[in-house]
Structure 1
């Protein structure tokens, strides 16, 4: 009945992914390749979680 008050995990993961990708972009532009690699790795992990949530939804 009150399911519309629950947060959508897919939406949350999409926001996190966008934020990580933006942080990685800025790190790359600033020349911090190690931070870029770390943030990219974190973004890939979030992407895998997002894909898992999407596949569970179907």
Structure 2
């Protein structure tokens, strides 16, 4: 009944991914390749979680 009060977990993960990818880009621009690699790996983990959650929500039956 009050589903519109629930936050969208996909949106939250996407925002986290976008922020992490931007941090990685800025690290790369500064020349810090080690930090860039670490942040990119974290962003890829977030993206994998995002895709798994998206597939799970698409396969759920709608009521």
What TM-score does the superposition give when structure 1 sets the normalisation length?
0.97
Instruction: Output the aligned Cα RMSD.
Output: 0.5
Secondary structure at the residue paired with 2:38? helix
Aligned length, in residue pairs = 58
Partner of 1:3: 3
Partner of 1:51: 51
Mapped partners of 2:35, 2:11: distance in 1: 25
Give the drift of 1:42. Answer: 0.2
Mapped partners of 2:34, 2:4: distance in 1: 41
Partner of 1:31: 31
Mapped partners of 1:53, 1:4: distance in 2: 19
